[in-house]
Amino acid sequence: MELLLAAVHRVAFWILLAFFASAVIRLILMLDINKRVYNHTPGPCRIVFDEDGKDVDGSAGIHFVRGRNLALITYGYANAFENGSVPSGLASFEFKKGEEQTHHRLKKLDISWNEHVPKHFAPLGLTAFENNGRVLTYVVNSHPKAQCVHFFTLVKSSLQHRKALCDSRFTSLRDIAAVDADRFFVTNLGYFSQGHLQTVELALQSSLGLIYFYDGRNFSVAVSNFPTPSALAIDEKKRLLYVSSLLNEFVRVYEIGRDNTLKQKVDISLLASPVGLHVDYATGDLWAACHPVLLQAFIHQMNPSDKAMKSPSQVLRVRIQEDGISWVVTEPYANDGATISGSNAVTFAADQMLVGSLFERLLHCDILNPQIT
């Protein structure tokens, strides 16, 4: 009996050791220690300043409102990480042509709050749905103490707050995508809320992420056990939902059924950690903002106010072929962090590109050769 127990202990020891070694290897590969990016741009670029000529306090979420030819940008995501507070809210950027564009500024939007101004507002992902001339805007608040989805209506140059929906099941909301008025998908990155437990969960590369669907009244689980879902984007024409995996570094394509159920189609492997997605309405191209070196992104995210903690930025474009199951990936933009640090969002319109970062600048680029860049 004692011999049997000793044998079981020995076998268990080696099995645990094998699991531990495997976890260590996967963790080291995940951190991208041997990767870097080399700077390049698709054309002339410039920083977008606010109306006072200053850098914005982050531009972590961008959504292009096609009917208005403008982009909505969230700022102030750093509130989710530190006790101090930075100004947070939404801003708009109007796409123009020619010389007029190079000096264009970001306009911060006034918000008429439905009740009181929320104490913890760290906006991250956002989406908008254009409905009968109204722009219904949905914003994810990623603050660990106030995980909510906020409903706004864009009225001229200001936002009317409609309501906030919070749920105890929300632990790490990231991004949101609307399929109809008050119908949207939202991603929950992992089981644990932001903190040490989440770090351990992510280090072990668990698959406890969820995608919720809101049907106008209730949140239900649309996809369970998704590995670290980070960003969402919807192809309106083809009724496709794109969901990116932060740590497994792919984009999964779902078909949206008539009742808004999701049918999995294909995975697009990127080998870069996608954090922001955009679908170009005209071409159907998928644009992804990525963290090319995950370790630096993690360190940068843990120190939002330290300007020396730079993280590389990367924008990829996936051109899906007619068959829907093959694609070409190009890299329109990459930067080592000196210009824009920790790219988190991207949008493309009128041969121009906006790249948003977690806590800092917003970048605007002309794309000289859209077919090849």
Partner 1 sequence: MLWQVVGLVVVAIAVNFYVNTLFFLDYNKRVFNHRPGPCRRIEGIENGSEDIEFVESKKLAFITSGLVYFPNPHAKYDGKIFLYDFKQGDGKYQAKDLKFVGMENEDFHPHGLSHFILKDGTIRLFVTSHSKQFKHSVYLFDFDESKQQLKLVQIIRDEKFVRPNDIAAFRGRIVPSHYQCGSVVKYDGKKVEVVAAPEASNGIIFSRDFKKFFVSHINHRTVAIYDWDQKKKTLILQTKVPLLTAIDNFYIDKNNVLWIGSHPILKDAVAHLDAPDDLKFKAPSQVLRIQFSSDFKSHDITEVFVDDGNFIAASSVAVEHNNQLLIGSVGRQLVHCDIAHPAVANSKL
What is the β-pairing status of strands 70-75 and 61-65? Answer: antiparallel
CA distance 286 to 7: 54
What is the β-pairing status of strands 148-155 and 134-141? Answer: antiparallel
In the complex, the smallest distance separating the C-beta of residue 303 from partner 1, rounded to whole angstroms, is: 23
- Residue at token pair 């049907």: 215
Q: Which is nearer to partner 1, 141 or 357 (CB)?
A: 357
Pick the stretch among 156-164, 201-209, 279-287, 361-369 that binds partner 1 (CB under 8 A): 361-369
352 lies in the binding site for partner 1 (CB under 8 A): no
> Which residues, in sequence order, are CB contacts of 133 under 8 Å at separation 6+?
none
Q: Is 199 exposed, middle or buried (0-12, 13-18, 19+ CB in 10 A)?
A: middle
CA distance 239 to 255: 6
369 lies in the binding site for partner 1 (CB under 8 A): yes
Pick the stretch among 225-233, 269-277, 298-306, 344-352 that binds partner 1 (CB under 8 A): 269-277
103 lies in the binding site for partner 1 (CB under 8 A): no
Q: Which is nearer to partner 1, 13 or 237 (CB)?
A: 13
What is the β-pairing status of strands 110-112 and 158-166? Answer: parallel
In the complex, the smallest distance separating the C-beta of residue 29 from partner 1, rounded to whole angstroms, is: 5
CA distance 262 to 250: 17
Copy the structure tokens of residue 91: 């801003």
In the complex, the smallest distance separating the C-beta of residue 102 from partner 1, rounded to whole angstroms, is: 12
Closest CA to 348 of 44, 157, 62, 102: 62
Beta carbons of 60 and 345 less than 8 angstroms apart: yes
- Choosing from 8, 46, 257, 302, the residue that interacts with partner 1 (CB under 8 A) is 46
- Choosing from 88, 147, 188, 373, the residue that interacts with partner 1 (CB under 8 A) is 373
User: What track of x and - describes contact with partner 1 for positions 298 through 337 (by CB under 8 A)?
Assistant: ------------------x-----------xxxxx-xxx-
Pick the stretch among 10-18, 59-67, 72-80, 199-207 that binds partner 1 (CB under 8 A): 10-18
Q: Which is nearer to partner 1, 262 or 365 (CB)?
A: 365
Copy the structure tokens of residue 359: 């806590």
Beta carbons of 188 and 207 less than 8 angstroms apart: no
Q: Which is nearer to partner 1, 197 or 368 (CB)?
A: 368
Q: Which is nearer to partner 1, 76 or 276 (CB)?
A: 276
339 secondary structure, DSSP code: S
Residues 16-45 that bind partner 1 (CB under 8 A): 17, 21, 24-25, 28-29, 32-45
CA atoms within 13 A on the CB side of 112: 9
CA distance 334 to 38: 6
Q: Which is nearer to partner 1, 24 or 221 (CB)?
A: 24
In the complex, the smallest distance separating the C-beta of residue 251 from partner 1, rounded to whole angstroms, is: 14
In the complex, the smallest distance separating the C-beta of residue 37 from partner 1, rounded to whole angstroms, is: 8
How many residues touch partner 1 under the rule CB under 8 A: the total is 43
In the complex, the smallest distance separating the C-beta of residue 34 from partner 1, rounded to whole angstroms, is: 4
**Strand-pair partners of 213:** 185, 220
Closest CA to 58 of 79, 42, 84, 83: 79
**Which residues sit in the known binding site for Ca(2+)?**
126, 175
Residues that bind partner 1 (CB under 8 A): 13-14, 17, 21, 24-25, 28-29, 32-47, 270-272, 316, 328-332, 334-336, 339, 363, 365, 368-369, 372-373
